[in-house]
Amino acid sequence: MEKNEIRPSSVKLVFLGDSSVGKTCLCNSILHIEFTQDVLSTIGTEKIETKFILHNGQDIKLILWDTAGQERFRSVALSPVKTCHGIVFVFELTSRTSFENVNIWLDSVKDIYTGQKMVLFGNKSDIEKSQWEVTREEAEAYAKKMNLKYFETSAKTRKGVDEGISYIVNESYPIAVERIKNQNIQLKTDEDEYMTVRGCFGKKKKIKKKKK
């Protein structure tokens, strides 16, 4: 590793999509928690942490934000988006409505998008295909149109989960690197322009340096 190489310690992902599409079960699958149908709907957001090994062999902390899908919790669900590095949009293959509503979720992040990597998961692929309301070809065509990578996943069997998560985490890592670089540049700028002094009662405060 080069002396000045920047190596972020974590990557943050947020899962967005309608209620009951399987976001919580997908998070549990990533944590290798045994699948169960009896999962309560998420209210607001829930932060989950685990370890992850990147393609380059680096160990990082993977932070997952599981979010509510109900419309009344939409603003709360979107709160982690701005600081995350990757976004996983999830729909249910047996629910055409959840697929069509991906447009709404994409539109919701438009004003808070800061360069995050984005993917699309078509979940519950373990269910018999005769019950699917969205075909692979249709989902892939939509994903291509919206510049998203598409994965068919099953939180129950874990099919496609490891592949999809590996892709989004490794693609999101450079974004984490870039953000730390920008933070360091800003800190250096602050150091050049300001100095810390002690004011009344010993409290520290920053004042702008006088130009020479």
Q: Within 10 A of 160 (CB to CB), how many other CB atoms are there? A: 18
Alpha carbon 64 to chain centroid, angstroms: 7
The owner of tokens 């990557």 is 11
Strands of the chain, DSSP E: 10-16, 45-53, 59-67, 86-92, 117-123, 149-152, 194-198, 204-208
pLDDT tens, position by position, 138-152:
999 999 999 999 999
> Are the C-beta atoms of residues 123 and 21 closer than 8 Å to each other?
yes
pLDDT tens, position by position, 91-139:
999 999 999 999 999 999 999 998 999 999 999 999 999 999 999 999 9
Q: Residue 205's pLDDT band (boundaries 50, 70, 90)?
A: low
pLDDT, mean over the chain: 87
Q: Residue 1's pLDDT band (boundaries 50, 70, 90)?
A: very low
Model confidence pTM above 0.85: no
